[in-house]
Amino acid sequence: MEGGCLARKLPAGDLFHAAVCGDPKWLCLSLERVQSPGQQQNKQGLTVLHVAAQHGQLSCLKLLLESGTVDVNASCPHGRKPLHMVLSPESKPNTYSCLIYLLEHGAEPNVSTDEGLTPLHMAAAAGLKECVEELVRIGADTHTRDSRGHTPFELACLWGHRVAARILKNAMWHRDKKRDMEKHQELQNLKQNMIRMYRKEEGMQKLAREAINKQKVSEWAERKGLPCLRSSTMGLWTLSHHCCHSAKPVKKQHATKSRDMWNISPNPSRHPPANISRSETMRIGVHPEEVADEPDLYQSVTLHCFRNEQVHCIASWDNVSQLVPDLPMDVIQKGLFPSKFPSRISGPLQLQCNSVLDLPHRGGAHRTEDSPWTEVAMHLVEELQPGHY
């Protein structure tokens, strides 16, 4: 809808004509003569604020919003707000300034039309770089889809606006990364909570076993006619020193790591150890991985995936289903059961370490015997069947 066509349709002195022309004095006179200007609509169902935003009349927008008689989030019959209208081609060259002014006065950046178009959709489709940057900065949803299933990034790509597409792709990447970090933190919190419950349950079971052992030992001592029992500081029940021989405490010998397991001698004549540990996989680094002091939850926690693709976990100590953060199944398994699903690169089972000296060497330039067959041709002769090539 162009300004000249609208001016011919509307009578002189009308609010809509003043909004299109951008005459503040004319608009002030019209506001004084009209009651409830924010509720009046033209034939298209647009309010005077919609028309002023559509044609980029910043002075009219200021007068209308400062008068307090219009709604900055008013909707037309198609669900369009003034923020949608300001992103039309007719609003140039004041598109960005009008957008900033509407946002500063309470315009909602994530509102959508009946077709599911948000202001970010319209700015991306029009290739308005500054408007896209401002909407992304204030938190507009970059992942929302319209009625046809398109995101703002996809609309920018369809209309060939590369700069806007790069801005949106960067914003989507940062949002996805932030979301993944939050989901991983939720998974770690869930794991720590399960570890606390597991240790609590394990402690209760240990106390129950000690109580049973105490009762059995007491019954046995009573049958044998032995003196009363006493409890040691470690929680174990032992007989009195009158009927037990004292024994010297045995010092625990700490197991030392074998040097051969991690021998990285630079001597090329000595073969490196072939079977270090976990021969079915390859190590990412050369240093041994530190084992976390955590219990194994694999036997106590089970994962269930329902039809809605939501994963739930059920612990054996309470049998209560808990919702797991929305992450891929392999990430959930590695997060909850690191000992059963290690983060390693899979390799062939027959992979063995060999000495560098045992590898075949390619002949140098000093060789005088040149074979008419290359190595590739020799392999082809060995593999291909006669008569088929």
Any residues with CB less than 8 A from the CB of 257 and at least 6 apart, and which?
none
Comparing 322 with 386, the larger pLDDT belongs to 322
- Mean pLDDT value across residues 344-352: 55
Q: Which of 2-6, 53-57, 61-65, 208-212 has the lowest mean pLDDT?
A: 2-6
Instruction: Give the pLDDT score at 336.
Output: 92
The secondary structure of 126-179, three-state, reads HCCHHHHHHHHHCCCCCCCCCCCCCCHHHHHHHCCCHHHHHHHHHHHHHHHHHH
Q: Which residues face 230 on adjacent strands?
A: 238
- End-to-end CA distance of the chain, in Å? 71
Contact call for residues 314 and 304 (beta carbons, < 8 A): yes
Q: Where are the domains of the chain?
A: 3-173
- Mean pLDDT value across residues 276-305: 68
Q: Is pLDDT at 258 greater than 80 in this prediction?
A: no
Q: Is pLDDT at 244 greater than 50 in this prediction?
A: no
- Mean pLDDT value across residues 200-209: 93
Highest-pLDDT range among 120-124, 339-343, 345-349, 374-378 = 120-124
Q: How many CA atoms lie within 13 A of 171 on its CB side?
A: 24
Q: Which residues face 312 on adjacent strands?
A: 304, 323
- Mean pLDDT value across residues 117-129: 95
Comparing 85 with 368, the larger pLDDT belongs to 85
Contact call for residues 195 and 297 (beta carbons, < 8 A): yes
E strand segments, 232-344: 237-238, 281-282, 301-305, 311-315, 321-323
Q: Is pLDDT at 379 greater than 80 in this prediction?
A: no
Q: Which of 11-20, 48-57, 110-119, 120-129 has the lowest mean pLDDT?
A: 11-20
Q: Is pLDDT at 346 greater than 90 in this prediction?
A: no
pLDDT class of 68 with cuts at 50, 70, 90 = confident
User: Distances from the Cα of 315 to the Cαs of 11, 273, 292, 342, in angstroms?
Assistant: 74, 41, 21, 21
Instruction: Give the pLDDT score at 123.
Output: 96
Q: Please tell us whether the domain made up of 3-173 is placed in CATH 3.40.640.10.
A: no
- Which tokens in the block code for residue 290? 């530190």
Q: Find the helix or strand (DSSP H, E) in which 346 lies.
A: strand 345-346
- The answer to whether the peptide bond before residue 93 is cis (omega within 30 degrees of 0) is yes
Q: Is pLDDT at 283 greater than 90 in this prediction?
A: no
Contact call for residues 284 and 298 (beta carbons, < 8 A): no
Max Cα-Cα span within the chain: 118
Q: Which of 37-41, 99-103, 131-135, 161-165 has the lowest mean pLDDT?
A: 37-41
- Confidence (pTM): 0.62
Q: How many CA atoms lie within 13 A of 285 on its CB side?
A: 5
Q: Count CB-CB contacts under 10 A for residue 354.
A: 10
Would you give the DSSP letter of residue 256?
P
Report the alpha-carbon distance of residue 148 to residue 168 in Å, rounded: 19
pLDDT class of 62 with cuts at 50, 70, 90 = confident
